[in-house]
Amino acid sequence: MTDSKYFTTTKKGEIFELKAELNSDKKEKKKEAVKKVIASMTVGKDVSALFPDVVNCMQTDNLELKKLVYLYLMNYAKSQPDMAIMAVNTFVKDCEDPNPLIRALAVRTMGCIRVDKITEYLCEPLRKCLKDEDPYVRKTAAVCVAKLHDINAQLVEDQGFLDTLKDLISDSNPMVVANAVAALSEIAESHPSSNLLDLNPQSINKLLTALNECTEWGQIFILDCLANYTPKDDREAQSICERVTPRLSHANSAVVLSAVKVLMKFMEMLSKDLDYYGTLLKKLAPPLVTLLSAEPELQYVALRNINLIVQKRPEILKHEMKVFFVKYNDPIYVKLEKLDIMIRLASQANIAQVLAELKEYATEVDVDFVRKAVRAIGRCAIKVEQSAERCVSTLLDLIQTKVNYVVQEAIVVIKDIFRKYPNKYESVIATLCENLDSLDEPEARAAMIWIVGEYAERIDNADELLESFLEGFHDESTQVQLQLLTAIVKLFLKKPTETQELVQQVLSLATQDSDNPDLRDRGYIYWRLLSTDPVAAKEVVLAEKPLISEETDLIEPTLLDELICYIGTLASVYHKPPSAFVEGGRGVVHKSLPPRTASNESTESPETAPAGAPTGEQPDVIPTQGDLLGDLLNLDLGPPVSGPPLTTSSVQMGAVDLLGGGLDSLMGDEPEGIGDTNFGAPPPAAPARVGAPIGSGLSDLFDLTSGVGTLSGSYVPPKAVWLPAMKAKGLEISGTFTRQVGSISMDLQLTNKALQVMTDFAIQFNRNSFGLAPAAPLQVHAPLSPNQTVEISLPLNTVGSVMKMDPLNNLQVAVKNNIDIFYFSTLYPLHILFVEDGKMDRQMFLATWKDIPNENEAQFQIRDCSLNAEAVSTKLQSSNIFTIAKRNVEGQDMLYQSLKLTNGIWVLAELRIQPGNPSFMDLELSLKCRAPEVSQHVYQAYETILKN
């Protein structure tokens, strides 16, 4: 009779009858009873009341009965922890049973009972089993350590089990090694900081030896562990690759993918000139092709992984195009994935084959597949220039079929072909216009409208065509409405006389009758542009468009490198890093490929300049490219920091990294902005603001903008525009620097000239000559609405990182808000760095003056100063330039002065005041300093202070 009888319920199967049977003297009856209990448990009945009776059955030599009892124990120990303690003695006894199967069974069950009270009793038996003479017991015990660590990590560390596990990596039995690696990897994953798998060439060698002999799961664990190792040089990488390559011919697809992952990772370190590199490329193709003969689900996983591999190294599969041709009976998910890879592998050599295949697919019955095939033809045209002609004629043939969805997809891709090859295929526009009436999908309608607007001058009845779309303007989707608005404005700019009414109609529809903010904003912008400056409108609306690139759907390179490290896992199927879909406390470690070796071609080295950094001469305000790359705000390529500004008062600005990788804007667009900040001749004072927000703080109390009434009377230059709105998407930043009673601040005025609210402000400085850095986050307490201005005083300190700039007082700033990150440079006046204790003792002054070599002395002239000696001395003292002595020599006043910079540099000055014409004096300034490059800037400070 089969086991199904245990699942049938009669009155007899009730708890009290089972209890009687469990306590029976007959072994067979006992066994039957336990089977019934397990059957009831399996179908979800609560049989926990029988716990003591089932535990009594543990004392048996019968392996089958023991397994059943252990199964029951695992299930109910959690709900009955006090009863479970009764079983501990049996576990301890079973761990010393002469039969290794029973020893292993006991250890396995111990690991599955997740009850804190019991775990400490299990440490001794586990320790014995880890050193058991039988490898089956040792391998089971290794996994038990990982389970125990999950319940009580501290206990495992205190008991020294982790060290025992590390020793098992050197075990003679490959399965024990594999399980030890699996257990350590599991523990290391939940504690990323612990360096448990301390891999070195010796342990790697042991793992590679075990690799050939263990089961497929063991091989996967070992290969995954190898993938986390970084070889010390290309020779070690090559030797590991040679020993891993045989795994590519394994029957299990998971082993194959794990091996591919190791090889893809270590290939980064091999030079492309090596013969071995070519051999390895050839060896990688067959196993990947073999994976495609498996069942569809496996094919799909393989294709998703191949998609990543082809993006990283297309040369591996470049001759294997035929494998990716679609079979009639492939499921749709496999078909679409194959199509994607076909386009990635398309090249001049195989394009004829690919196009013939794609044209075939476009006549299939599966609508989704046909659409993707038509898109694919367009992508081939953009990718392989030589094939563009054939692709366009193929698309025209497809349009002639008059199959609605084929026509619509064809029009969408032809729009992209026009963008890629301007003035080449416009002759087909007439054919496209014939199909206008059949278009009902938003994307196709929008594409057609774009074509009509872009080539309005070649289409005689463009105005009629666009007018036909206008009739149902409010029923169209937003995409079509936006495109229609732009197209009609383009048409108006090309044929102003005939389309006056049309443009007025669309503008009023878009602005007055629409409630879509995007549409209204665009409508108003066009309206203002056309009414104020038609020439500017032409430059904006009819500007040259950049050519579109071939692969718009490539995965971003750093993400691709991370995904290559996760080949064969869910991340490679989702094409997302684990952090995007794994929840919970597990520390998800970001992996990346090893750096390329020095022998490799320099184009691939990570030290090269970022794309977009211009070469050639740069404005001399910016330091050399090398300096910038190494240190522009300790460039961290993470995403820009979002969320509220930090609230700690002494925040280290290095922690908030605003540069999500945008040096080009700082390096390309700078010179105009820098000219504004010439402190030698400051621009006129900014006009007083009307309707300033109430909370603009101290700056209003002391009226910082005018420089009058500051606490210590230090001179404040008027605000200058540092970042014009047109360069910062509508954010205009003006500012100046002040020093009051020993504290420096940057007084900023932020104006929102955009049409959207700005929030999430943050600021960061590049390293600079005097270590200026924000002493607190940039606090903009309320969102900045359009046309609103806010004034903020940002406290600064001089404890930031130092790097000599050119000129010395150059400061590079990054400001972030919810829209973007913006960069600008400004020059700060040196007198904000003159400290309050800069008055030198007379004797000290004399000694220092003599001590500084004469070649460090610099002479300057300050002409037309309207102050006498007394007033000069007072005015300079308010900016921390102190007069130590004064004397009159032959009718000329001589002032001896000292000042000290925040970094401890002393500057000594001799100021000779010569009466010029009656109301103005000429001043002669001699400066001595151990750092002579400071003198020019100190002179500029003198001139600025005395003349304002």
Question: 676 pLDDT exceeds 50?
Answer: no
How does residue 486 score in pLDDT terms, banded at 50, 70 and 90?
very high
Mean pLDDT to the nearest integer, 394-406? 86
HEC profile of 481-533: HHHHHHHHHHHHHHCCCCCHHHHHHHHHHHHCCCCCHHHHHHHHHHHHHHHHC
Inform me whether the pLDDT recorded for 204 exceeds 90.
Answer: no
Residue 915 pLDDT > 80, yes or no?
Answer: no
Q: In terms of domains, do 837 and 931 share one? A: yes
* Alpha-carbon distance values, 663 to 531, 659, 670, 725, 942 (Å): 37, 8, 11, 19, 34
Look up residue 551 and give its DSSP letter.
-
Same domain? 872 vs 804: no
Task: Please tell me the predicted confidence (pLDDT) of residue 744.
Answer: 92
Checking if the pLDDT of 696 tops 50, the result is: no
Which one is predicted more confidently, 656 or 936? 936
* Tens-digit pLDDT profile for residues 67-87: 888 888 888 777 777 777 777
Of 240, 201, 236, which Cα lies nearest the Cα of 223?
A: 240
Task: Give the confidence band of 589 by pLDDT, cuts at 50, 70, 90.
Answer: low
Contact 361/326 with Cβ under 8 angstroms?
yes
At 514-560, the pLDDT tens digits run 888 999 999 999 988 888 888 888 888 888 877 777 666 678 888 88
Q: Which residue has the tokens 């943050």?
A: 762
For 424-437, how does the pLDDT look when each residue is reduced to its tens digit (9 = 90+)?
887 888 888 887 77
Is pLDDT at 91 greater than 70 in this prediction? Answer: yes
Clarify whether residues 820 and 840 are in a common domain: no
pLDDT band for position 261 (50/70/90)? very high
Residue 557, preceding peptide bond in cis (omega within 30° of 0):
no
Average pLDDT value for residue range 499-522: 88
78: region left, alpha or beta (phi > 0 left; psi from -120 to 50 alpha): alpha
> Does the pLDDT of residue 422 top 70, yes or no?
yes
Q: Residue 811: what pLDDT?
A: 93
pLDDT tens digits for range 127-154: 888 888 888 999 899 998 888 888 888 8
263 has a pLDDT exceeding 50: yes
Is 768 within the bounds of a domain?
Answer: yes
**Residue 774 domain-assigned?**
yes
From its phi and psi, is residue 425 left (phi > 0), alpha (psi between -120 and 50) or beta?
Answer: alpha
Backbone angles phi, psi at 271, to 5 degrees: -75, 140
- Tell me the pLDDT tens digit for each residue of 597-623: 544 443 343 333 333 333 333 333 333
Beta-carbon-side half-sphere exposure of residue 917 (alpha carbons within 13 Å): 2
Q: Stretch 12-34: mean pLDDT, rounded?
A: 77
Please give the residue that has the higher pLDDT: either 704 or 477: 477
- Give the pLDDT of residue 732: 92
User: pTM of the predicted model, to two decimals?
Assistant: 0.58
Determine which helix (DSSP H) or strand (DSSP E) holds 147, and give its type and residue range: helix 135-151
The whole-number pLDDT of residue 8 equals 62
Domain-terminating residue out of 777, 810, 828: 828
Both 865 and 913 in a single domain? yes
Across 28-43, average pLDDT = 84
- Report the Cα 642 to chain-centroid distance in Å: 12
For residue 369, which phi and psi values (nearest 5 degrees)?
-65, -40
Position 256 scores a pLDDT of 93
CATH code at 793? 2.60.40.1150
84 in any annotated domain: no
- Which of 387, 408, 439 is the C-terminal boundary of a domain? 439
> pLDDT tier at 794 (50, 70, 90 boundaries)?
very high
Domain match, 813 and 802 both? yes
* pLDDT tops 50 at residue 351: yes
The per-residue pLDDT for 12 is 54
How far apart (Å, rounded) are the C-alpha atoms in residues 372 and 340? 9
Q: What is the pLDDT, as a whole number, of residue 385?
A: 84
Instruction: Quote the crossing angle between the two packed helices 351-361 and 367-383, to the nearest 10°.
Output: 160
Domain-embedded: residue 108:
no
- Res 662: pLDDT: 36
Res 42 pLDDT > 90 = no
- Between 623 and 162, residue with greater pLDDT: 162
Q: How far is CA 815 from CA 22, 656, 728, 819, 821, in A?
A: 76, 11, 10, 11, 6
Residue 95 to residue 118: CA distance in whole angstroms: 15
Q: Are residues 880 and 930 in the same domain?
A: yes
Where is the domain boundary, 828, 860, 881?
A: 828
Ranges 88-92, 221-225, 376-380: which has the least confidence: 88-92
Specify the amino acid at residue 350: N
Same domain for 779 and 724: yes
User: b/e string for 680-697 if b means 16 or more Cβ within 10 A?
Assistant: eebeeebeeeeeeeeebe
Q: Say if residue 837 is in the same domain as residue 943.
A: yes
Asked whether residue 392 is assigned to any structural domain, the reply reads yes
Q: CATH number of the domain that 928 lies in?
A: 3.30.310.10
Report if residue 26 sits inside a domain.
no
pLDDT score at 750: 92
% pLDDT > 90, the chain: 14
Shared-domain flag, residues 814 and 789: yes
- Reported as a pLDDT band with limits 50, 70 and 90, residue 194 is low
Q: Both ends of the chain: CA-CA distance in Å?
A: 109
- Is residue 265, in this structure, part of any structural domain at all? no
810 inside domain: yes
State pLDDT tens for residues 823-857.
999 999 999 999 988 898 888 888 888 888 888 88
**pLDDT tens digits, one per residue of 270-279:** 888 888 888 8
734 shares a domain with 811: yes
φ/ψ of 927, rounded to 5, equals -120, 135
- Is the confidence at residue 933, as pLDDT, over 80? yes
pLDDT > 80? residue 643: no
Domain hosting 845: range is 833-947
Least confident of 76-80, 383-387, 466-470, 677-681: 677-681
Distance CA 655, CA 643 (A): 14
Look at residue 304 and tell me whether its pLDDT is greater than 90. yes
If asked whether residues 451 and 410 sit together in one domain, one would say no
707-757 per-position pLDDT tens digit: 333 344 678 888 999 999 888 888 999 999 999 888 899 999 999 988 788
The verdict on 757 and 820 lying in the same domain is: yes
Predicted confidence at residue 227, as pLDDT, reads 87
Q: Give the residue, 543 or 114, on which the prediction is more confident.
A: 543
Phi, psi at residue 117, to the nearest 5°? -60, -35
DSSP H or E stretch at residue 848: helix 842-851
Q: To the nearest whole number, what is the mean pLDDT of the chain?
A: 79
Backbone region of residue 742 per phi and psi (left: phi > 0; alpha: psi in -120 to 50; beta: other values): left
Residue 804 above 50 pLDDT?
A: yes
Domain count, the chain: 4
Confidence band, pLDDT 50/70/90 cuts, at residue 307? very high
Range picked from 190-204, 574-588, 835-849 for highest mean pLDDT? 835-849
